[in-house]
Amino acid sequence: MKVTKPLFDSIGKFVDYYSRFNPSPLSIKKFIDFGRKKCEKTSFVFLRKELAVRLANIMQEINLLPENLLRMPSVALVQSWYRSSFEEILKFGKADENEKKVLEDFCEKLIRIRNRHSGVVQTMANGVLELKETHRVEQHTEHSIQYFLNRFYMSRISIRMLINQHALLFGSDMPSHPRHIGCVDPNCDVSAVIRDAFENAKFLCDQYYLASPGLRLEQFNTPQPGAPISVVYVPSHLYHILFELFKNAMRAVVENYPEAEALPPINVLLVNGNEDITIKMSDRGGGIKRSLSHLLFQYMYSTAPRPSVSGISSAPLAGYGYGLPLSRLYARYFHGDLIVNSYEGYGTDALVYLKVLSSEANELLPVFNKTSTKHYKAVIGSHDWSSSIVSPPSNAQGKTSTEQPVEPVGIGN
What pLDDT tens digit does each residue of the chain (413 aa) get? 444 444 445 789 999 999 999 999 999 999 999 999 999 999 999 999 999 999 999 999 999 999 999 999 999 999 999 999 999 999 999 999 999 999 999 999 999 999 999 999 999 999 999 999 999 988 888 889 999 999 999 999 999 999 999 999 999 888 878 899 999 999 999 999 999 999 999 999 999 999 999 999 999 999 999 899 999 999 999 999 999 999 999 999 999 999 888 999 999 999 999 999 999 999 999 999 999 888 899 986 655 555 544 444 444 334 557 899 999 999 999 999 999 999 999 999 999 999 999 999 999 999 999 889 988 887 665 567 776 655 555 444 444 444 444 444 455 55
CA atoms within 13 A on the CB side of 289: 7
Among residues 202, 240, 335, 355, which one is catalytic? 240
| Global confidence as pTM | 0.88
| Separation of alpha carbons 279 and 353, rounded Å | 7
| Separation of alpha carbons 5 and 322, rounded Å | 40
Cα dihedral 357, 238, 236, 26 sign:
positive
Distance in angstroms between the alpha carbons of the first and the last residue of the chain = 49
Among residues 180, 247, 335, 355, which one is catalytic? 247
The set of residues, in sequence order, having a beta carbon less than 8 Å from that of 48 and lying 6+ positions away, is 89, 92, 93, 95, 106
Active site residue 104: no
Q: What letter does residue 223 receive in the DSSP assignment? A: S
Backbone angles phi, psi at 9, to 5 degrees: -75, -30
Backbone angles phi, psi at 40, to 5 degrees: -65, -35
pLDDT computed for residue 172 by the predictor: 86
| Separation of alpha carbons 22 and 366, rounded Å | 9
CA atoms within 13 A on the CB side of 389: 10
* CATH 3.30.565.10 residue ranges for the chain: 185-303+316-355
Among residues 50, 130, 244, 363, which one is catalytic? 244
* CATH 1.20.140.20 residue ranges for the chain: 5-177
Active site residue 244: yes
| Amino acid at position 215, single letter | L
- Domain 5-177 CATH class label: mainly alpha
pLDDT computed for residue 201 by the predictor: 96
pLDDT computed for residue 17 by the predictor: 95
Q: What letter does residue 362 receive in the DSSP assignment? A: B
CA-to-CA separations, 330 to 22, 153, 233, 324, in angstroms, rounded: 21, 9, 12, 10
pLDDT computed for residue 62 by the predictor: 96
User: Comparing C-alpha atoms, which of 49, 244, 47 is closest to residue 164?
Assistant: 47
User: Comparing C-alpha atoms, which of 301, 297, 411 is closest to residue 351?
Assistant: 411
Sheet with 266-272, edge to edge strand ranges: 215-221, 266-272, 276-283, 347-355, 337-343
| Amino acid at position 22, single letter | N
Strands (E), 207-257: 215-221, 230-233
Alpha helices in 23-99 (DSSP H): 28-37, 40-62, 67-70, 73-90
Look at strands 215-221 and 266-272 and give their pairing: parallel
Among residues 57, 126, 248, 267, which one is catalytic? 248
CA dihedral 166, 172, 178, 184 (to 10 degrees): -20
Active site residue 240: yes
Contact status, residue 154 vs residue 237, Cβ threshold 8 Å: no
Contact status, residue 91 vs residue 3, Cβ threshold 8 Å: yes
The helix or strand, by DSSP H or E, that contains position 263, with its residue range, turns out to be none
pLDDT computed for residue 313 by the predictor: 43
The set of residues, in sequence order, having a beta carbon less than 8 Å from that of 117 and lying 6+ positions away, is 81, 85, 156, 159, 160
CATH number of the domain located at residue range(s) 185-303+316-355 in this protein: 3.30.565.10
User: Comparing C-alpha atoms, which of 88, 128, 81, 135 is closest to residue 109?
Assistant: 88
